[in-house]
Structures are given as C-alpha cells and as structure tokens.
Amino acid sequence: MHIVHTIAELRQQLSGFKRPAFVPTMGNLHEGHIALVRQARPLGDVTVSSIFVNRLQFAPHEDFDSYPRTLDADAQRLEAAGCDVVFAPREKDLYPEPQTFKVHPATDLSDILEGHFRPGFFIGVSTVVMKLFSCVFAGMPGGVAAFGKKDYQQVMVVRRMVQQFALPIEILAGETQRAEDGLALSSRNSYLTPEQRLEAVHLSQALRALGETARAVSGLPDLAALEAQAMQALARRGWKPDYLTVRRRADLMPPQGALADVPLVVLGAAKLGNTRLIDNLEI
C-alpha cells in the first residue's frame, strides 16, 4: 500500500488504472469505513481511500481542531482491508490557495435537517468531495465512490451532485455499521464518556420506536405529535435533540397522504453532553 500526500503523487500512483474504487474519509476510522473499503474494492481496479479533515464543513464553534487525527492507525487498518493507495493531503496540498470557488447544492435538499442546524455544512461537503473526485478520477473513464448511509442526507447530496454534473462515478451507499447494542458506529463516539456510551444507544432506540409507531398513525398531524413526543422523551434523558423526524426517502420531504404508500426514513440528531450524534433508519 502507498501513502501519498500531494495530488501529483496520487495521480502518479493511479496512472495505468482505469476504474478507481474510492472511499473518502476524515480519518479516525472504524469498522464502518473498513466495510466500505471491502464493499468498494471488487468494483474497481485500484482501491483508494482519502484521509482529510475538511475545514470547510466545520462551523467556527465545532470540533475541527479537536477532531482526532490517527493516520498511522488508520493506514494499518486500510492496508489490512486491501486498500492500495491512501491519499492523506495536508491542507496546503488540497487547498494551496483559499477555496473561493465552491459547490452550492440545491437548497431544497441542503438547507433542511443537517443543513438547517449546520448552515453551510453541505457547501463544504460538496466542495471537498468534488475536489477529491477531481484528484482521484481525473482522466479516468469511470469509477465508484463509497459513502456510508449513516450520513443519509450527505449521500443524497453527493448523488445529486454527481448526476447534475454528469460525473462518470457510481455512488455506492453502504449500510450503517452498528455496535452490538445498536449504536451506529461513528468517529465521534470516541468523545463519549463510559456513562454516555451506555446512554448513546437510546438515539437508535428512539428512532426505531418512532418508526414503528409512525406506520400506525392516520395523518400528518398525528405524525408531528409523535415526532414531538420522541424528542421530548429523549430530552428527559438529558439529550439536546435537534430533530427526530420521519421523511420520504426520495427527497427527505415530509410525507404526504397515507404513510404506507411511500418508502420512509426516520432521521435523528441530538447532543449527548458535548457530542452530537446522528442516525437514521429506513422503514
């Protein structure tokens, strides 16, 4: 496995290949990332993973500076999973000058849910993903890029971006990997104290309960009441929920009409102590 830091080094390593399988990450890897590498690897002729903590998607008050940087351990895990090339650029390598050209996704998708509570987040995500795509897939006839479904809205934003820019890239959405108790694996789980780790599973449990009861309601007013009750129940346990909501899978808009007629997803985001966790469940 090769570890490279500059775009020129990356392109040199990829010369001669035609279909990269790419897994972009911010590092501090867990089994969810490794599962994506294993799923993507058979779909390309070279497997690439990037490790880059992207300043553009962090608000000033968020955890950019404290986000764990664990390159050595990450590289060992990627090598064991069969990754061929690790692209670990420094900030000056990926952004040698201020990134004034940015990708602004459609507001109907990017300004709701995560985008509402983290303004500008999906601009930062779309911009860095587009730039990483240009680094990995430049001159290639096609390829595949893998993202985890835990970041459900992010997958949808990236898919729409690829479609609208006619990029020759297949987006693979890997299923959320969970601990034995049901907690979605996340790099930010390492922030949790032992007591918070035991409590953290209640987010996934709240989403599951909301999903089970949502199918039984008769209309949107009842659904809104269920969502409010789910948030209140989580708040009583000491959480600070941003949202627990049932949306259409197709566009993340609130469902209209009979809930049984459309595929739905339950999404949630909440703070436990200083750690903000997100999760979702397709129903």
Reference 242, options 270, 211, 207; nearest CA is 270
pLDDT value of position 14: 98
Q: What is the pLDDT of residues 209-239, one digit of tens each?
A: 999 998 777 666 788 999 999 999 999 999 9
Is residue 238 a contact partner of residue 84, using CB atoms and an 8 Å limit? no
pLDDT value of position 262: 86
pLDDT value of position 218: 62
33 counts as catalytic = yes
User: pLDDT tens per residue, the chain (283 residues)?
Assistant: 999 999 999 999 999 999 999 999 999 999 999 999 999 999 999 999 999 999 999 999 999 999 999 999 999 999 999 999 999 999 999 999 999 999 999 999 999 999 999 999 999 999 999 999 999 999 999 999 999 999 999 999 999 999 999 999 999 999 999 999 999 999 999 999 999 999 999 999 999 999 999 877 766 678 899 999 999 999 999 999 999 999 999 999 998 876 667 899 999 999 999 999 999 999 9
Look up tokens 């999903």; give the residue. 211
**Following DSSP, what letter does each residue of 154-176 receive, concatenated?**
HHHHHHHHHHHTT-SEEEEEEPP
Helix (H, G, I), strand (E, B) or coil at 224: helix
Q: What percent of the chain has pLDDT over 70?
A: 98
Whether the pTM exceeds 0.75: the reply is yes
CATH of domain 187-282: 3.30.1300.10
Q: What are all long-range contacts of 97-100, with beta carbons under 8 Å and residues at least 24 apart?
A: 99/56, 99/127, 99/131
Taking each continuous run of H as one helix and of E as one strand, the counts in the chain are 10, 9
Dihedral pair phi/psi, residue 61, rounded to 5°: -90, 0
pLDDT value of position 222: 85
Choosing from 2, 5, 33, 116, which is the catalytic residue?
33
Residues of the chain with CATH 3.40.50.620: 2-174
pLDDT value of position 260: 67
User: If you classify domain 2-174 with CATH, what class do you get?
Assistant: alpha beta
pLDDT value of position 214: 87
Please state, as a whole number, how many other Cβ atoms lie within 10 Å of the Cβ of residue 61: 6
Reference 265, options 280, 244, 254; nearest CA is 280
Residues of the chain with CATH 3.30.1300.10: 187-282
| Residue 204: CA count within 13 A, CB half-sphere | 17
Q: What is the pLDDT of residues 116-156, one digit of tens each?
A: 999 999 999 999 999 999 999 999 999 999 999 999 999 99
